[in-house]
Amino acid sequence: MSELKPAPSSLEDLAVSAAEPARAEPAPIWDAPDEDDDPRNTRTFFRAGLLRQMRVYIRDNGPLAAMLAVAFVNQAGSAVLMPLIPFFASSLNAEPWQVTLMFSSFYLGQFFGEPYFGRLSDRIGRKPILILTTALSVPLYVALAFAPNIWVAIAIRFVGGLSSGNISTIQSYVSDVSRPDQRASRMSLVGAAFALGIVVGPIIGGLLSREHIPGGEFRPPLFAAAILSALACATVMLYLRESRQRTQTSAPPPILHNLKDALRSPVTLRVILSTLCYMATFASLEATFSLWVKVRFGWSVMKTATIFPIIGATAVIMLLVVMRPLVRRWGESKVLACGLFLFGLSFALQSLHNVEALIAPIVVLGTIGQSVIFPTICAIISITTPSDRLGGMLGLNMSTSAIARITGPIIAGALFSTIGPNAPLWMGAALTIPAALLALQVGRLRKAQ
């Protein structure tokens, strides 16, 4: 017989008992479900854990993701013009030397802009500099679209180089939000964002330039570059939080002050000299590769363009997948030296063969080495430089890169014309040897510190 329940002792007990559903007989204790085994508790636990992990991930990586988006959009906007500048300059009745001057004026502006804005970001913060430089690029692209002659276009490109002097600020921001052991891998992510921008930008420029507008067939890609810069500026304003506090120091010192700081640091000095050798090699390849394949193998412009997606895909894979385990296993200095060695080896191999089918594989070999060089250089500088001088030192490194981009193509062009098409390749292979030796010295000096 079932047990009788006691009658409710009050109206309140009666209301409670009426509101409660009838209860089943309690099960034996060995059959009772464990409270932790309740599926609802399990779902709640994992849901709360997932949300907590997401919040932590966004907190730790949100600024980095926003910065990578800015780097990609900013580089894509700049790269829109890469395949168009010779044709744009020709549309303004420019002489060949004026076309090359239009290229050089941009890097000359970058030479002055990078260390200044990098050092200024050390003083007033990264975010204001990124807002200023990305916003300034918008009217400059529009002004270039309506340039009346080549000299105005060259002047606009010089100012554009000044406004594009934010790469060191981007690198400094990534360093600010990263632990020392994360900096090499995160700099590789910045390199991947730049590589993707370099791949996507020329595609946008090529597609939009087909749109014929009488008297302004190059305006659509220039307007697209302006829109991309505006998007980068909006991303900085809305989603980027400041990574560095303002300081009360005086105005940023000139380039010579940054150079004195570099001369006092044996590690930084050797890394910057490696940048000079590497970037001169890279810029000489940029300037003469199309001429080399045309002279040696009779390649057309379209056939030459098929190499660049391969280069971009190889660089992205190396930077996103391969570089992090390499740095963890061998360290930044050895990875830098190996990258320089492979890059130089590709130059030597390219100069020695006469087989058209080997061009792409050797280019891929060089890209494997080249893609790890610049991120490891920036990582070493960020690790060995105090945070209050990091922007200025990365800016000095970018200025060195700009000098190499100006002088490298000039020397390579002279060698190509006077000695032969393989001479720039020999020069590139020779320059990577001292750069690799300097990188190995960096490793020994860091161990000794």
Average pLDDT, the chain: 79
The pLDDT value recorded for residue 101 is: 78
Question: Rounded distance, CA 189 to CA 374, Å?
Answer: 12
Reference 393, options 304, 269, 284; nearest CA is: 269
> Where residue 54 falls among pLDDT bands split at 50, 70, 90?
low
Query: Averaged over 311-336, what is the pLDDT?
Result: 87
> For the chain, what are the domain ranges?
62-246, 253-449
Query: Averaged over 385-403, what is the pLDDT?
Result: 83
Cβ atoms of 140 and 163 within 8 Å: the answer is yes
Query: Averaged over 159-182, what is the pLDDT?
Result: 86
Fold adopted by 253-449: Growth Hormone; Chain: A; (1.20.1250)
**Is residue 139 predicted with pLDDT exceeding 90?**
yes
Query: Averaged over 329-350, what is the pLDDT?
Result: 93
Query: Averaged over 130-141, what is the pLDDT?
Result: 93
The pLDDT value recorded for residue 55 is: 60
Question: Rounded distance, CA 137 to CA 135, Å?
Answer: 5
Cβ atoms of 247 and 123 within 8 Å: the answer is yes
The pLDDT value recorded for residue 24 is: 45
Mind giving me the DSSP string for 187-251? HHHHHHHHHHHHHHHHHHHHHHTTS--TT-TTHHHHHHHHHHHHHHHHHHHHHPPP-S------S
**Which of these ranges, 89-93, 266-270, 363-367, 376-380, has the smallest mean pLDDT?**
89-93
Mind giving me the DSSP string for 340-390? HHHHHHHHHHHHH---GGGHHHHHHHHHHHHHHHHHHHHHHHHHHS-GGGH
Cβ atoms of 413 and 361 within 8 Å: the answer is no
Lookup: tokens for 211: 């749109």
The pLDDT value recorded for residue 275 is: 92
The pLDDT value recorded for residue 194 is: 83
Lookup: tokens for 381: 């500088």
Residue % of the chain over a pLDDT of 90: 23
> Where residue 253 falls among pLDDT bands split at 50, 70, 90?
low
Q: Please state the three-class secondary structure of 115-184 as a single string.
A: HHHHHHHHHHCHHHHHHHHHHHHHHHHHHHHCCCCHHHHHHHHHHHHHHCCCHHHHHHHHHHCCCHHHHH
Higher per-residue confidence, 442 vs 307: 442
Question: Rounded distance, CA 346 to CA 365, Å?
Answer: 6
Angle between helices 126-145 and 39-79 (to 10 degrees): 50
Question: Rounded distance, CA 245 to CA 124, Å?
Answer: 7
Query: Averaged over 223-235, what is the pLDDT?
Result: 90
Question: Rounded distance, CA 391 to CA 271, Å?
Answer: 16
- CA of 249: how far to CAs of 128, 252, 373, 388, in Å? 17, 8, 33, 10
Higher per-residue confidence, 18 vs 168: 168
Domains 62-246 and 253-449 in one fold: yes
Query: Averaged over 353-357, what is the pLDDT?
Result: 90
For tokens 């990258």, what's the residue?
339
The pLDDT value recorded for residue 213 is: 54
Query: Averaged over 179-190, what is the pLDDT?
Result: 80
- Calculate Rg over the CA atoms of the chain: 29
Say how many C-beta atoms besides its own lie within 10 A of residue 244's C-beta.
Answer: 20
The pLDDT value recorded for residue 219 is: 86
Query: Averaged over 109-119, what is the pLDDT?
Result: 86
pTM equals: 0.70
Question: Rounded distance, CA 137 to CA 67, Å?
Answer: 17
The pLDDT value recorded for residue 444 is: 85
**Is residue 336 predicted with pLDDT exceeding 90?**
yes
Question: Rounded distance, CA 346 to CA 324, Å?
Answer: 23
CATH (residue range 62-246):
1.20.1250.20
The pLDDT value recorded for residue 384 is: 85
Question: Rounded distance, CA 357 to CA 26, Å?
Answer: 80
Q: What is the pLDDT of residues 59-77, one digit of tens each?
A: 556 678 888 888 888 888 8
Best mean pLDDT range from 13-27, 63-77, 113-127: 113-127
Q: How many CA atoms lie within 13 A of 250 on its CB side?
A: 2
Helix (H) or strand (E) holding 31: none
Cβ atoms of 412 and 427 within 8 Å: the answer is yes
**Is residue 323 predicted with pLDDT exceeding 80?**
yes
> Where residue 108 falls among pLDDT bands split at 50, 70, 90?
confident
